[in-house]
Amino acid sequence: MRWRLDLAYDGRSFRGFAYQPRLETVAGALREVLARTLRLASEPLIVGAGRTDAGVHALHQVVHVDLPARPGTRRALEPARLVASLNAQLRGRVHVIAATPVEDSFDARFSATWRAYRYLVCVDGPRLDALDALCWSVRGPLDIASMDAAAAATVGSHDFRSFCRRAPRTEPGDPITRLVHEARWRAVTDPFDLAPRGHFVRLDIRAQSFCHTMVRSLVSTMVAIGQGRLAPDTVGRRLEAPERDRLPAPAPPAGLALVAVGYDEGAP
């Protein structure tokens, strides 16, 4: 039976989402716990909607996994008991939000129609480990209007070669086309008063799919625009004429989180 699992996780201790032998990954931790819980002969394959990089968080990731009926019985797995058992063993590093039986045609990756990420920036806040685990601390002031205009330039279908790491077995001239549905910067509140002398701004971006380092590269470029270190039209120009040279390194992973995955109406 195919199951949809909705997850959240703290990416700091993981080498990314995708399973890698001998490395600590989100999919690897979930495979191990599922195999132990259900006494499986081998670890099941986990397919995720988004392959988050090392250090990137998720507030709402979606995966699918094919599981047998409960070993030794004719009873089907009970979603609530499965969630409780997995969470007890994952101990807060990964949290299973829900477990839902789905049709075999459901694919967490290929059935998804969009993914949404957010990137959190702390402006002029204290340099604390607690902050660095959740955001990128930068010096201001930032021109948020210029950053938001740069974000708006990404909306639509564009070649994002300037902002993506090239995939293996591809040529430098191969386009990396992605469809961005919306992107905007805005100020956000600091409910825990973590940066009393600073403030937070956030990029919210939603696209059909993303390429490797795309959001973090866009963030570092937009922050440089906001600081006045790059021209306001830099993002637009690099989308029209892709060139990676003389752009900042990607922003740190800890500020990035996958926050939602969308499916066609009627999908579970």
Question: Which residues are marked as active site?
Answer: 53
Element (H, E) at 94: strand 94-102
User: CB-hemisphere CA count at 13 Å for 152?
Assistant: 9
End-to-end, the C-alpha distance of the chain in Å comes to: 15
CA 33 to CA 28: how far, in whole Å?
9
Q: Residue 41 has what DSSP assignment?
A: S
Q: Cα 31–33–39 angle (5° rounding)?
A: 95
Kindly tell me the burial class for residue 64, based on how many C-beta atoms sit within 10 Å of its own C-beta (0-12, 13-18, 19 or more): buried
For residue 74, CA distances in Å to 18, 37, 107 come to 32, 17, 26
Q: Quick one: which of 80, 47, 84, 52 has its CA closest to 64?
A: 47
Pair 150, 225: CB distance under 8 Å? yes
Task: List CB contacts of 208: < 8 A, sequence separation 6 or more.
Answer: 113, 114, 115, 178, 179, 180, 181
